[in-house]
Amino acid sequence: MSKIIIVGGVAGGATAAARLRRLDEHAEIIMFERGEHVSFANCGLPYHIGGAVAGRGDLLLQTPESFRRRFRVDVRPRSEVLSIDRAARTVTVKDRQTGETYCEAYDKLLLSPGGAPIRPPMEGIDSRRVFTLRNVADMDRVKAFITETRPRGAAVAGGGYIGIEMAENLKLAGLDVSIIEMSDQVLAPLDFDMACDVHRHLWRKGIALYLNNGLRKITEHSGGLSLELQNGALEADMLILAVGVRPESRLAKEAGLELNRLGGIVVDKHMRSSDPDIYAVGDAVEITDPVTGQAAMVPLAGPANKQARVAADNIRGIASEYAGTQGSAVVKVFDMTAASTGINEKNARRLGLEYDKVFLWLPGHAGYYPGAKSMSMKVIFERGSGRILGAQIVGFDGVDKRCDLLAVAVRAGMTAHDLTQWELCYAPPYSSAKDPVNMAGYAIENVLTGKVKNFHWHEADALPRDGGVTLLDVREPYEFAQGSMEGFVNVPLDSLRERMGELDKSRPVYLHCHSGMRSYIAARILTQHGFDAYNLSGGYRLYSAVRGGVGVKQLKTAPPGKSGGTAAAAAGKPSGAIKNKNI
């Protein structure tokens, strides 16, 4: 009978333990968990704080007792593994209740230590008003503080997934909330142009944004916290630290296992570490990005579960391989949804890939059916082949299912042509006869086959305004009156053919409309009449979302010109030239 020790529960460890028991009824399985809870929904913690998940017990998936009854796993909570002796194949364990220290032997060892919230070495970081959110105990502390002290304002340091979720749920709990983010945007997996819609939505929901503005110092006083930023300061009653996670790889390091430069445990495709008897899964392991073939660290619950299954299979002698993590993720931002998969443009550019991109603005279901709202899509593809490399979508209904479809396309190495051929479910309440994913395929095909030449929002301001090119806005006059780009002349699409004689064929023509659809039609008309026409992908809507910016609430303690103004300015982005903007 083999003996398997698992260090850490939750997504990785608990999943591996259950899989191992299903594969081997006779193995001795011991699971050590430093905390009190061995299997809980850590992704649901913010939603209990905000009240969406009313019952605390709803987050507890398995207790030590229920796990023992169902899986016959020896679950030992409040037990911390202090060290690994690889030569003797033993671990040293401390019982955190009794203080007793003892050794336990293993045949195979699986590490699932997870990732710990980063706590920067900063003055005031240990204040009782400063919180992180990793486990149920952390959630309970936040919940108790809100209940007992009734704070009015909270700051969240970090605009990643946890930071956004905590900002939303603290707001729903009745607090005034600010997000402090060192970068020029929230949600790093998105590109800046896609994050701008999220910035605007957060602002509309009453969240103050401090972008390009890191936290430097925390001072606790009788009334709360004074937070010194790189630019300015603000007051808050409590602070949530959500600036990222680091792999909990101390055990692996001290045992001499191979780590990467970030401290991630290096494993092979079988989830086996540099020691053939030790496996590792979850947030602490290095993975391979299947799109680029590059090593990466991606702390997500879905991959952790899959890795745990692969590790359990291989421990029991079943050949199983982990195919890598492409980083598919989705986040709720009040009633908005933001999702991404594969690589973004930042990484494509950094890696020197031959890529291109298209932007689309399409409704989640048939526009005539009540409740239709449009989503902003950005799809990254490989030049030449049209292979889908990544996608980002921000919007409302249907965002998650479209990003899931594109995630499959990325994983399967599919091309834009494949997207055009997909037969997807259609009824007016759910989609359009040409689904947004089909439309993305059509848009990319048009680029690849030369039917359209695109230009992008970040190129628009650099276009010459000296008459060397023709700049046309093909929207309706009422749209043009609400806001326009400098130098663009309004010629509505439906009058373009009649006014074509006014245009100089020797000059390139740059066109835009609201979303890029009407200007695409205009570009096709002009191209077939001998013009060199270019279409603004994503249209004026995208340009104005990025260049026009969005107000950032200015707190009383913020010095003038530092934290106020627009999100674009705070992010170090030029505001562009938009006349009479009404966005």
Would you state the structure tokens that stand for residue 140, as one six-digit string? 């309970």
Distance CA 247, CA 12 (A): 14
Q: In b/e form, how buried is each residue of 20-56, taking b as 16+ CB within 10 angstroms?
A: bbeebeebebbbbbbbebbbbbbebbbbbbbeebeee
- The yes-or-no answer on residue 425 being catalytic is no
Would you state the structure tokens that stand for residue 24, as one six-digit string? 């081997």
231 CB burial (10 A radius; 0-12, 13-18, 19+): middle
State the pairing for strand pair 28-33/74-77: parallel
Mind giving me the DSSP string for 395-418? ESTTHHHHHHHHHHHHHTT-BHHH
Would you state the structure tokens that stand for residue 561, as one six-digit string? 């010109």
- Of 43, 103, 403, 513, the catalytic one is 43
Q: List beta partners, residue 246.
A: 116
What is the C-alpha radius of gyration for the chain, rounded to an integer number of angstroms?
27
Residue type at 317 in one-letter notation? G
Q: In b/e form, how buried is each residue of 103-128, taking b as 16+ CB within 10 angstroms?
A: ebebebbbbbbbbbbeeeeeebeeee
Distance CA 73, CA 282 (A): 20
Return the DSSP state at 522: H
3-state DSSP assignment of residue 167: helix
Phi, psi dihedrals of residue 574, rounded to the nearest 5°: -65, 145
Write the CB contacts of 128 (distance below 8 Å, at least 6 apart in sequence).
Answer: 220
Distance CA 395, CA 360 (A): 12
- Known catalytic residues are 43
